[in-house]
Amino acid sequence: MQSACVEAINRFLETDGAPGIAVCCRLADYLALPVRLRLTGAICLQPLTGGQIVDFLARAGTPLAGLRTTVQGDPLLLELAHSPLLLSVL
């Protein structure tokens, strides 16, 4: 199913073209496919580091001081905070 999707995207790009396109997937899933997207570039997002999480919460200042303390003391919340989206939600 995923290979068929990649092939359909490639056909679309060949016939219609696209000024910009974004395709999101898990890296391991993509690398397991027998076919590749024919794009001019790719970006691989990495999880935030612990330092980046601490810096983000520190820059928020006093309003998020309680969250900063809670995240540092809760391994599950710290794991969730490695995702930029989930850190923003927290």
Task: Give the number of other Cβ atoms within 10 Å of residue 21's Cβ.
Answer: 11
Look up the pTM and report it.
0.63
Q: Which two tokens stand for residue 33?
A: 């496919």
Contact between 43 and 16 under an 8 Å Cβ cutoff? The reply is: no
pLDDT tens digits, 18-45: 777 888 888 899 999 999 999 888 888 8
Query: b/e per residue, 36-55, with b = 16+ CB within 10 A?
Result: ebeeeeeeeeeebeeeebbe
pLDDT confidence of residue 55: 93
Q: Specify the amino acid at residue 21.
A: I
Instruction: Give the pLDDT band (50/70/90) at residue 7.
Output: very high
